[in-house]
Structure 1
Amino acid sequence: MVRLSVVIVNYGALDIVTPCLESLAADSNSGLIEVILVDNGTPSFSANELQSKFRWVHIIACSENRGFAAGCNIGIRDSQGEYLLLLNPDTRIPKGTLRTMADYMAANPDVGAATCRVNLSNGSLDPACHRGFPTPWASLCYFLGLEKLLPMSRLFGRYHLTYEDLEMAHEIDAPSGCFFIVRRSVVETVGLLDEEFFLYGEDIDWAMRIKEAGWKIMFNPAVSIVHLKGMASGIKLQTTNSINSLHSERERAYHAFFEAMRIFYRKHYRSRYPFFVGWLVSAAISIREKLGHGKKTV
């Protein structure tokens, strides 16, 4: 049995995913991993071109873009590993990282899912890899700047768990879907990713379901990867010169970001809070969406 199945959902030019696959090549002959690449309907995608260079990658070419969660589920259904790793195509994985994380999962049977330290291209931590759940209070503290003002406060720093020691392994609420390792037995219990989420939110929803099932989710800084954030979606400012994303796709991704907030609140929090809290959350999301529309980042 394969130990670790790496599932990569690609949408974009081959020059984005190629370096990611090259960084995995060292582990491809070890018997440790299988790599499944699901292309989510990229225009003019050439599976033959990619397959000729990476014969050890199993490529699934979809005819349409049904979203990140749907693409991941296609790959998961086709996988065999004891552990599953969701991996973004705009990541770079140092040799030994995957073995270390698989060993960590094996040594900690109460851990249902985990992530490593995820660095941005400038070396700083990608805050999305180290999150608390976005309760109304945590979200309010974050958007009002209280988390940034008082990062060591457990009251105000819940959104990104800023009070935790990043040099030590510790429990978190949710990792980023760019590097999210989970036990197959956990997936069999909690189910696949929710395909109602198109591009954002599916990772934190999955994490919520995993923790509600009684499993721990851990941040393990013993190893790290690099995330060239935004290249997978093609809507981030730093990628405008390196990816040719259609305007319609950028628009779809932008609105999907805010729709994911609405879906997550409705699914997990609406029944837990009074009606007026839900109304305020909905209004805040709509205002942020309108104010940010037309910008290159979300």
Structure 2
Amino acid sequence: MTPSLAVIFVNYRSSKLLLDALSSLYRETAGTPPDVWVVDNASGDDSRDRILDAFPAVQWIDMGYNAGFARANNAGIRAAGDKDVLLLNPDTIVLDRAVEKAYAQLCDSDFVACGVQLLNPDGSPQISGNFFMKGGLNHLLLLPYLGALLRWIGYRSGTKVPNVREAGSVHPVEWVSGAFLMVKRSAIRQAGLMDEDFFLYAEEVEWCARLGKVGPLCIFGEERIIHLQGETVQDGKGYSGLTTRKDFQLMLSNHLRVRKQFGVGWFLVLLLGYTAGVPVFFLGNIFTLRGLSAPAQFARNVARLWWWTPRIIGGRPHFYKVL
């Protein structure tokens, strides 16, 4: 039974995926279905008509502009009143009553928030939970050549792997993927809503850091959903690029999160690491004859990070949207 749970989807031109997600949610709920809110980020298409025609019980919120992930979810969380909430991506398929089973376990535990095991479409496990690395230094692993060296040093020194690809039955973690993030209302009252400075990426990481000060988080590994990773992002899949506008949004959000969670010093360490990665990328591509277009695009994005640095360090509220 899930009457005390509200499920929140953020929609931006993803009605086809959302129809499949909603179908699976209702199909895989044996008891009373949860309240469902769809928060639309000015899709400008027929999403509303398509969703409400198929699922008239869904409650719809129009943001009126592309508000991103944090602001849109916050609108849904506010609308849900006193209910516990599940943030669920439109590019997900619920399996074997995963939502109500996870909710029953969460309610019967001391955990304040949980995720479930995410699966790729072929059934292979996908990273579902994570641990914080001091200062967000794990972001340096994305850097070409330099990242491979840092990864080798980390393995040689026995550094703890910062993520959980395949969870046990109950696997404590420090932050949970925003594709499926279920949170008790009592924890939200203490930790606050998601930080609305974020447009896209890293907002759930920063939120989990605050939720973790209220109580522990976990992955319920026996409950599973399919996550079509990156399908709702308009500029391609994946989260490891460095050269496109989407990649810059990710870089900016990650640096912003480090500033908020760990402070200015660690933010500067990360920024200087990315800056050092520019000449390494150029030299590596020269020696491997891979061309200089990608290093030049990366250098442009790092220069843009420096342009944003005074504002980030200043710490005043700002909507960091560049897409």
Smaller-chain TM-score bracket: 0.7 to 0.9
Instruction: Quote how far apart the aligned CAs of 1:81 are.
Output: 5.8
Return the alpha-carbon distance in structure 1 between the equivalents of residues 150 and 94 of structure 2. 30
Q: Does 1:282 align with 2:271?
A: yes
Instruction: Quote how far apart the aligned CAs of 1:12 are.
Output: 1.6
CA spacing shift, 1:13–1:116, aligned 2, 3 Å = closer
CA spacing shift, 1:237–1:178, aligned 2, 3 Å = closer
Instruction: Quote how far apart the aligned CAs of 1:56 are.
Output: 1.7
- Candidates 159, 170, 174, aligned match of 1:156: 159
Contact kept in structure 1, 2:13 and 2:45, CA below 8 Å: no
Return the alpha-carbon distance in structure 2 between the equivalents of residues 53 and 104 of structure 1. 30
| Matched residue, 1:139 | 138
| Matched residue, 1:192 | 193
Root-mean-square deviation over aligned CA pairs: 3.1
Return the alpha-carbon distance in structure 2 between the equivalents of residues 32 and 119 of structure 1. 23
CA spacing shift, 1:176–1:237, aligned 2, 3 Å = closer
Q: Greater CA deviation, 20-29 or 66-75?
A: 20-29
Q: Does 1:57 align with 2:58?
A: yes
CA spacing shift, 1:81–1:131, aligned 2, 3 Å = same
Instruction: Quote how far apart the aligned CAs of 1:263 are.
Output: 0.9
Return the alpha-carbon distance in structure 2 between the equivalents of residues 51 and 168 of structure 1. 36
Q: Does 1:229 align with 2:229?
A: yes
CA spacing shift, 1:154–1:28, aligned 2, 3 Å = farther
| Matched residue, 1:116 | 116
Instruction: Quote how far apart the aligned CAs of 1:284 are.
Output: 2.9
Contact kept in structure 2, 1:73 and 1:192, CA below 8 Å: yes
Return the alpha-carbon distance in structure 1 between the equivalents of residues 19 and 52 of structure 2. 11
Return the alpha-carbon distance in structure 2 between the equivalents of residues 153 and 36 of structure 1. 47
| Matched residue, 2:249 | 256
The one-letter code of the counterpart of 1:130 is: G
Contact kept in structure 2, 1:132 and 1:174, CA below 8 Å: yes
The one-letter code of the counterpart of 1:131 is: N
Instruction: Quote how far apart the aligned CAs of 1:278 are.
Output: 3.9
Alignment of 1:38-53 (within 5 A): 38-53=39-54
Contact kept in structure 2, 1:6 and 1:85, CA below 8 Å: yes
| Matched residue, 2:287 | none
| Matched residue, 1:15 | 16
Instruction: Quote how far apart the aligned CAs of 1:136 are.
Output: 3.4
Alignment of 1:58-137 (within 5 A): 58-80=59-81, 82-108=83-109, 110-127=110-127, 129-136=128-135
Q: Per-residue CA shift, 1:181-234, capped at 9, x if unaligned?
A: 000111111111001111101111111001123x00011111110000111112
| Matched residue, 1:246 | none
| Matched residue, 2:179 | 178
Return the alpha-carbon distance in structure 2 between the equivalents of residues 135 and 205 of structure 1. 13
Calculate percent identity across the aligned residue pairs.
23
The one-letter code of the counterpart of 2:263 is: R
Alignment of 1:32-43 (within 5 A): 32-43=33-44
Size of the aligned set, in residue pairs, is 274
SS in structure 2 of the partner of residue 212 of structure 1: coil
Return the alpha-carbon distance in structure 2 between the equivalents of residues 264 and 169 of structure 1. 27
Q: Greater CA deviation, 64-73 or 133-142?
A: 133-142
CA spacing shift, 1:64–1:268, aligned 2, 3 Å = same
Return the alpha-carbon distance in structure 2 between the equivalents of residues 137 and 155 of structure 1. 18
Return the alpha-carbon distance in structure 1 between the equivalents of residues 188 and 22 of structure 2. 25
Contact kept in structure 1, 2:137 and 2:270, CA below 8 Å: no
Q: Per-residue CA shift, 1:235-283, capped at 9, x if unaligned?
A: 2348xxxxxxxxxxx9654322111111111111126xxx4x5433113
Q: Does 1:266 align with 2:274?
A: no
**If the length of structure 2 is used for normalisation, what is the TM-score?**
0.75
Instruction: Quote how far apart the aligned CAs of 1:84 are.
Output: 0.7
SS in structure 2 of the partner of residue 8 of structure 1: strand
CA spacing shift, 1:47–1:217, aligned 2, 3 Å = same
The one-letter code of the counterpart of 2:63 is: C
SS in structure 1 of the partner of residue 254 of structure 2: helix
CA spacing shift, 1:262–1:80, aligned 2, 3 Å = same
Structure 1's unaligned 5+ residue stretches are: 239-249
Return the alpha-carbon distance in structure 2 between the equivalents of residues 270 and 104 of structure 1. 35
Structure 2's unaligned 5+ residue stretches are: 279-294, 302-323
Return the alpha-carbon distance in structure 1 between the equivalents of residues 21 and 53 of structure 2. 16
Instruction: Quote how far apart the aligned CAs of 1:151 are.
Output: 9.5
Contact kept in structure 2, 1:147 and 1:157, CA below 8 Å: no
Instruction: Quote how far apart the aligned CAs of 1:145 are.
Output: 4.5
SS in structure 2 of the partner of residue 111 of structure 1: coil
Instruction: Quote how far apart the aligned CAs of 1:150 are.
Output: 9.5
